[in-house]
Structure formats: structure tokens, C-alpha cells
Structure 1
Amino acid sequence: MRKASFTRTLFTALALTGLTLSVQAANLTIGYQTGVDPSKVPQADGTYEKTTGEKIDWRRFNSGPEVITAIASGDVQIGDLGSSPLAAAASRKLPIVTFLVVAQINAAEALVVRNGSGITKPEDLIGKTIATPFVSTSHYSLLGALKHWNIDPSKVKVVNLNPAEIAAAWKRGDIDGAFVWSPALGEIRKSGTTLTDAAEVGKWGSPTFEVWVARKDYADKHPEVLEKFAKVTLDSFADYAAHKDAWTADSPQVQKIARLTGSNAADVPELLAGSAYPTAEEQKTLLTSTTAKDIANTAAFLKEQGKVESVLPDYSPYVTAKFVK
């Protein structure tokens, strides 16, 4: 029932694209998630507001599909998405454009199984209850792992829970494992064992990444905002790359990330190291060729799994490098 309800909600939101609401330039609303990355520091510092000159309403969401719903309705103009919900949205022709790759996900998302659940190897997942947010990058990675292990997904009880619900269900003992990101990942690792992570699944042929997208109407009207937004983000990546050893649990940067995401500060340095953050030069390569192909591959896999109805012949209209200077 959860799965059917989720699918109807997502597709209904995407269907609204034909009746999109107008965007008000004076009030920029940005949807973000709790994944740990260096750009959370300028977000906490108000640097995006200072640099863009915009009054920003930051709204926190539990998963990419929730962000998609808000973008489709017109409530959000810029949003943080994973590659799986991005592929689903683009396949439904949601009028968005990817303008920045936030992170190439490695160990920042993982499949953790409960100690004492009896799961010590992949085959033990059969008959167990595993939670993940549906159509998220973690869901995509879970399906990719099951495919690699030749395990029929129908033989595993995969349930749709957002990160906060996963943490609560774990405490109650309702689930045997979960594929998820921080802060829930840090919590369940305390009494669980990592069976695999997004980095390993990526090597098996199902890579995941996170992006910033904008509504196309907003991008067309306010290119200077996206350019400045991209610069602030890339500057934070460069600062982390140059001083990552100084980003310790008690450093100001990590403390700000912990407060903003709800993560334990002690977990943040490891979570930061669990993803790669592309430089400006790397962004140009990703956004001019690689990303569109990766979206297409993700969409094809989702169709194979019955998560999207159809795929597009070309996903390049949903990606641009013109805002990265």
C-alpha cells in the first residue's frame, strides 16, 4: 500500500507540470536534504543570501521525491536531488534543469543490517525487512545490489520509509536493515553492520550522485542567481579540499553541518569523506556529457524495475553547464 500511494503522489505531482505556478523573483525557495556536504557551511552562514542578494526560504525535505513534488507544484524553485529521483522526474518531463553536481556518492549511503538479525551475507536478506526511501539514490543502490547478488527483490520485504522513519523503526526493532544516508545512517551504524555501500554498488554498474536542479522558468529568468549559487557551492568544495584535515568533529565547519543536518558531529568527517565533490573544471565535463548519460542509464534501470513507465531518447535537455563559470 505504501508503494502504490507513493507512486500516485509522485506521478500526480509531476502531472501538475502542465499547470505550473508562476515564480516570484523576490522570494526564492530552496529545497534541501540532510545529506552531508561542504555546501552546508555557506548555507548555515547565510553566504548564499549575501552573494545572490536574494531572500531565501530554505525548506528541509526528507527525500528527493518530496523535493520533486514541491518543485512540480511551483512551491520550490531550486532543489537538491539524487540521481534516481532526478531520472524519474526527467522521464516524466518535469520542467527542470540540472546545473550543478553536488556529490558523487560513495560511502555516504550504505546498506546497514541490524546486529543479531541473522544477516551476515547477501543471501540472508531473503525474507527480511529492509527499509529505504523509495525512488531515492539509496533505493536505486539497494536494487542495484540485489541485482548484482542475483536476489529477486520480491523475495526481500523492501519498505518505503524516509530517513527519520528509518531511525525510529530501527530503534523499535521493526526492520532488519536499511539503505539510507545521514543522519539516520550514523544512528543505525551504532548497532549494525555495513553489508555494502553506494561506492561498491557503483563499481558494480549502478553509480549514484546528487545534484542541484532549478525550475526551467526560474533558470531562464534569473541566470545570475544560479551562477552565484554555483560559485558559492564550488567555493565551499574548494575550501574543504584544501583543508579537509582541519574539518574535525569540533571544528566550526563540522559543527555547522551537524546542526543543519541533525547529524552527530563525530560522524560528519567520515560522512564528508564518503562522497567526492567535483571542482569547477570537473563540473564542466560532467554537465556537458557524463551526467545526461548517467541519468539515461538510471532511468533505464528504473524502467526495468518497474519504477518509471518510460524513458526518453535524450536527457541532455535536463542538464546544463552554462551556470558554472
Structure 2
Amino acid sequence: MGVAILGAACTATATPTASPTSGGACTGSFDKPAEIRLGFQQVPNGDIIVKQSGWLEADLAGVKVTWLPFNSGGEVNQAITANGIDIGLAGSSPVSRGIANGIPYAVPWIFDVIGAAEALAVRKTANIKTPADLVGKKIGVPFVSTTHYSLLSYLTVSNVDRSKVELLNMSPPDAVAAWKTGQIDAAYIWEPALSELMNDGGEALVDSAKMAELGYPTFDFAVVRNDFAQKYPCVMNIWAAAQERAVQLYKSDPDKATGLVAKEFGIDGATAKRQMAGLVLLTASEQASTKWLGGDLLAAIKQTAQYLLDQKEIDKMPDDATLRAAVVKDYAAAAVK
């Protein structure tokens, strides 16, 4: 099934005519790349539904759609910088860092608002019951990630000196391996790796839903290279419409949606459903509103950047103009049915 863009068909031909401004309707022929390179992560959200459904492959006929796996937002930042991908998934902390460091990309979509799908899993036998019990412990966490930001924030609000906790830079798969061999006492990671720790003698000391309540919300963002979005606005519209289709499928037929995630991850449907319940998926209409891409999200990104600056994780704050340019609501608005 094709994806409609504002009720107007996007007809791909080799010779482009006029392309719309970002978010505009695509009519007639339009420019398209020979290949679109999509960086994805093992996160149970709409991007995985799009990947498993093959919608982009169908709706971008003649374009090679390449899905490339990454373990963290820091890796995605590096790939964008090296022109290795066109669109990728990265958490709000690495994106805030990327904007501050001048990576030429923008946020056209919010994959999810992170809740209990990210948590600090602690080994039950380590007797970690309070934040103070983390002193002297080894914690695995992907540096420059949302969980890294959440963990640092948790230590701060709990008045735990971070220098007295040993933080080890590990991707979720590496954290699982280190957990199984007893090399770490805890790990702040995301699903589906999180469930592996919880099912292997772990329990959650805190999760990202609680951290959001404490004033430290986190998100999984899409990021797109500025030059790609500027050159191929119709392709971006089609991509955003596919993401909206995934969100609507999850809301209207969660069994089918979580079944696609289960297939991607090699898990059963019930587990996929539980993992997805730890994330909030926003519709295109919600995303284009003033609460999210249309306005208030800027404050959350700015807050994250300020925290990173205070922790000496970045050298300078991005100015307001840079922040505004890095958040684009037009593609979400174009995907509203």
C-alpha cells in the first residue's frame, strides 16, 4: 500500500520538476536519491514497524533503501558527521550534544518519549537499594546516550558523587555480556537488552519515566542531514508519512504492530508489547503541535544541553537561533491525515 501525502500523490521520475519547500505537498515528479541510508537502533518503536513492513521500499520505488544498525546515539552522530547515513535514530542527549557541536542535522520526528523502557537495572545480589549504595559499584552505560544523561542526572539529584561510581562505556549488547560474566553491578540501558538483565537477577532502581517526573525527560529523535532534507523534501514527506502510519498501526492494532517488533527482535509478542508500553509514541498531529516540534520541545533540548554544559560534557551552549533551526515540524505536519 502506498503512503498518501496530503492527499496528493508523489510520482517518482528520473527528471525532477519543482520540489516543494519542506513539508509541502508533492505533486508530479520530484527529485529523489539513488539510495536512502537509514540508521536504526534496537528500540521497540515505530521505526522498527516501518522497517519490518517494507513501506518505504514500496513507496520509494527505484530508490535503494538501506537499513544500517547502530548501538547508540553517539554512533549515529559519528555516522551523520562522516556522511555515512541520511536519517538516523538518536536520543535527546546525543542530539543536544550534536546540535551544540555543530553537526549539520535537524530533528524532523520524535520516535518516542522514553518511559520505563529505559532503566537502571541493578543486580539483586549486589544489595543496591538506594542511590547511596551505588558508591563503589561498576555501572555499564552507553556514553553520550539518553541513559547516560539519565544516570548522571540521577546521581546529581541523589547527591551521589559521580567520581565515586565507576561508569563503564558499554553498548547494550556489551552490557548484557558484562552482566552475565559478573563484570558489572548495574547498567542503565534500554529495551530489549534491559529485559535480559531483569530476567537474569536484576531489578530496576529507577527508570526514565521517574526521571521525567523529576524534570529530566528524554526522547528518541530522528535526525536528518540538512543537505539531504533540503535536496529531497518529497522523500522526507514520504518517510514521515510512513512513520505516522506506524504510530497509527500501533494505536489501532497493537497486536499487529508489536508482532512486527517481535519478529525484528526474535521475541514473543507479549514481550514486545510490554517493551513498547515503556515508550510513548506520538502522532504526527501531536508532534506538529506547539507542545512538541512546534514549540515546547526546544526548551527540553535546551535544558539537556545546559545540563551537559554544567557537567562539562560539551564546551558551549547552542544559541536560540541554532536550536530553532534544528527542530522542524513541517514533515510531521505534512503527514497529518
TM-score tier, shorter chain, comes to 0.7 to 0.9
TM-score, normalised to structure 2, is: 0.85
Q: CA–CA distance in 2 between the matches of 1:192 and 1:124?
A: 15
- Please tell me whether Structure 1 or Structure 2 has the larger radius of gyration of its CA atoms: 2
Q: Which amino acid aligns with 2:145?
A: S
User: Hey, what does 2:202 align to over in structure 1?
Assistant: 192
Q: Which amino acid aligns with 2:314?
A: V
User: Hey, what does 1:168 align to over in structure 2?
Assistant: 177
Q: Which amino acid aligns with 2:304?
A: T
Equivalences for residues 260-275 of structure 1 within 5 A: 260-261=264-265, 265-275=269-279
RMSD of aligned Cα (Å): 1.4
Show structure 1 runs of 4+ deviating over 2 A: 252-256, 258-267
Match for residue 303 of structure 2 among 281, 297, 311: 297
Please list the CA deviations of residues 250-284 of structure 1 after superposition, one character each: whole Å capped at 9, or x if unmatched: xx543431342455644211111111111122111
CA contact under 8 A between 1:182 and 1:263: conserved in structure 2? no
1:203 aligns with 2:213: yes
Q: CA–CA distance in 1 between the matches of 2:330 and 2:175?
A: 38
User: Hey, what does 1:80 align to over in structure 2?
Assistant: 89
Match for residue 254 of structure 1 among 239, 251, 258: 258
CA contact under 8 A between 1:82 and 1:209: conserved in structure 2? yes
Match for residue 288 of structure 1 among 280, 284, 294: 294
Match for residue 158 of structure 1 among 155, 158, 167: 167
User: Hey, what does 1:48 align to over in structure 2?
Assistant: 56
Of 167-176 and 231-240, more deviation after overlay is shown by 231-240
| Higher helix proportion | 1
User: Hey, what does 2:248 align to over in structure 1?
Assistant: 238
Measured after TM superposition, the shift of residue 150 of structure 1 is 1.1
1:111 aligns with 2:120: yes
Secondary structure of 2:237 counterpart: helix
Q: CA–CA distance in 2 between the matches of 1:169 and 1:158?
A: 13
Aligned-pair identity in percent equals 34
Give the total of aligned pairs.
Answer: 296
Measured after TM superposition, the shift of residue 240 of structure 1 is 1.0
TM-score, normalised to structure 1, is: 0.88
> Any unmatched runs of 5+ in structure 1?
1-23
Q: CA–CA distance in 1 between the matches of 2:285 and 2:182?
A: 46
Residues 261 and 90 of structure 1, relative CA distance in 2, 3 Å threshold? farther
Measured after TM superposition, the shift of residue 32 of structure 1 is 0.5
